[in-house]
Amino acid sequence: MQDVAVGRPGTSKEFDGLPRPGRCLVMGILNVTPDSFSDGGLYADTGRAVDRGLGLAAQGADIVDVGGESTRPGAYPVGLDEELARTVPVVRALARAGVCTSIDTMHAPVARAAVEAGARLVNDVSGGLADPAMASTVAAAGVPYIATHWRAPSHEMDGHAEYGDVVTDVVTELALRVRNLAEAGVDLDRVVLDPGIGFAKRPEHDWALLAQLGALQRLGYPLLVGASRKRFIGAALAAGGAGEVPPAGRDVASAAVSALAAVGGAFCVRVHDVRAGLDAVRMAAAYRAHLDRGP
Ligand code: PMM
């Protein structure tokens, strides 16, 4: 099969330790939280969370993303001790079982402890803005780092969804994040960028970013897209009607969005429903293999 990866993802030695399936990667979501917007409370204790992580891996997740602090709109921070207690034992157990695990955190001490426990990537939805020690921590850890476009903590972010042109503004702000990472000594060959779907964005912003992933790719980094079950999907499904389709009814549409992201060149999609996400990126890989061949 043609390698559908774009730019440097998965092909450089800096991504050693990550699976290289020759298609867009699938990251399965494991929220060890009582309050995440779609799965809060389901895997809030260590045993259930580990079982869920093993289940995601068995379904084909290339990476299992362990998070201990909800970033849903309006959520408040949980405190370091609580976040450490929720995530580190789960990361350790999954890593021991051979699962490729990432830690979803904005806090350097959690990132450090999780990497020590076996996490192979750090996934920071604040792109280093929430904790000034994150960049140097990641530089020292020497693991791949996912930097997301972010403007403000979850309880304030809806007030920061103002853009001139959202794609231009996100590209500019991500480029600034990359510069800060480089200054802190982060190996840029280990950086993955993320447009931050739903983070200080309204649905029209999310769609614009998804439709113009190419503009973000021109920054030269692999892209992760985290669209699964997010508000813009619920709103699009309810188009013409009132309100939004609730998160539990968004998985089929989320898989469709994963296919769109993978066709658009995403390196990785972050999903709740791993089976559907995997089917979606496989279809995208088959489609992309024929894109440039002509009639
Ligand atoms: N979204 C959420 C959490 N972590 N990480 C990355 N890299 N990108 C995202 O878009 C992202 C993330 C919030 O969604 P959840 O509550 O379903 O985990």
**Two structure tokens written together for 246:** 């609730």
Q: Is 230 a catalytic residue?
A: yes
The conformation of residue 188, written as its DSSP 8-state character, comes to G
Cβ-contact 11, 21 below 8 angstroms: no
Cβ-contact 135, 186 below 8 angstroms: yes
Q: How far, in Å, is the centroid of ligand 1 from the Cα of 295?
A: 39
| Candidates 23, 229, 230, 282; catalytic one | 230
Calpha distance 103→69 (Å, rounded): 11
Q: Which residues contact 253 (CB under 8 A, 6 or more apart)?
A: 233, 236, 237, 245
| Pocket of ligand 1, beta carbon within 6 A | 29, 31, 36-38, 67, 71-72, 104, 123, 125, 146, 148, 194, 196-197, 224, 226, 270
Which of 43, 56, 71, 194 has most ligand 1 atoms within 8 Å of CB, for mutation? 71
3-state class of 267 per DSSP?
Answer: coil
Note the pLDDT tens digit of each residue in 211-234.
999 999 999 999 999 999 999 999
**Region 175-202: what's the mean pLDDT?**
97
Is the predicted pLDDT of residue 121 greater than 70, yes or no?
Answer: yes
pLDDT number for residue 206? 98
Q: Is 270 a catalytic residue?
A: yes
**Two structure tokens written together for 74:** 């309006």
**Region 44-68: what's the mean pLDDT?**
96
pLDDT number for residue 154? 84
pLDDT number for residue 1? 29
The tokens 């849903």 sit on which residue?
Answer: 72
Q: How far, in Å, is the centroid of ligand 1 from the Cα of 14?
A: 23
